[in-house]
Amino acid sequence: MMEGELIGVFEQIEREKGIPKKELLEMIESALTSAFRKHSGKKQKFEAHIDPESGVITAYVKKKVVSKVENSYIQIAKKEALKFDPAVKVGDEIKIKVETKEFGRIAAQTAKQVIVQRIRETERENLFKEFKKKEGTAMNAVVQRFARKNIIVDLGKVEATLPEWEQARDHKYELFERFQVYILKVEQSPRGPKITVSRTHPGLVKRLYELEVPEVSDHTVEIKQIVREPGYRCKVAVLSNNERVDPVGACVGVKGSRVQAIINELSGA
Confidence of residue 10 (pLDDT cuts 50, 70, 90): confident
Q: Is pLDDT at 1 greater than 70 in this prediction?
A: no
Q: Cα 102 to chain center, whole Å? A: 34
Confidence of residue 39 (pLDDT cuts 50, 70, 90): confident
Rounded CA separation 137/248 (Å): 23
For the chain, the average pLDDT equals: 88
The pLDDT tens digits of the residues spanning 116-145 come to 888 888 889 989 999 999 999 999 999 999
In this predicted structure, which of 27-31, 104-108, 217-221, 253-257 has the lowest mean pLDDT? 104-108
Q: Do domains 138-198 and 202-265 have the same CATH topology?
A: no
The pLDDT tens digits of the residues spanning 230-239 come to 767 788 999 9
The pLDDT tens digits of the residues spanning 58-68 come to 888 899 999 99
Q: Is pLDDT at 4 greater than 90 in this prediction?
A: no
The CATH number of 138-198 is 2.40.50.140
Q: Where are the domains of the chain?
A: 3-131, 138-198, 202-265
- pLDDT for position 38: 79
- pLDDT for position 5: 75
Rounded CA separation 222/242 (Å): 10
- Given phi > 0 = left and psi -120 to 50 = alpha, else beta, which region is 192? left
Could you say which architecture CATH assigns to the domain 3-131?
A: 2-Layer Sandwich (3.30)
Rounded CA separation 37/30 (Å): 11
- pLDDT for position 2: 54
| 68 against 40, higher pLDDT | 68
The pLDDT tens digits of the residues spanning 167-207 come to 988 788 999 999 999 999 999 998 889 999 999 999 999 99
Confidence of residue 92 (pLDDT cuts 50, 70, 90): very high
Contacts of 165 (CB under 8 A, 6+ apart): none
The CATH number of 202-265 is 3.30.300.20
Three-class secondary structure assignment of the chain: CCHHHHHHHHHHHHHHHCCCHHHHHHHHHHHHHHHHHHHHCCCCEEEEEECCCCCCEEEEEEEEEECCCCCCCCEEEHHHHCCCCCCCCCCCEEEEEECCHHHHHHHHHHHHHHHHHHHHHHHHHHHHHHHHCCCCCEEEEEEEEEECCEEEEECCCCEEEECHHHCCCCCCCCCCCEEEEEEEEEECCCCCCEEEEECCCHHHHHHHHHHHCHHHHCCCEEEEEEEEECCCEEEEEEEECCCCCCHHHHHHCHHHHHHHHHHHHCCCC
Rounded CA separation 128/101 (Å): 41
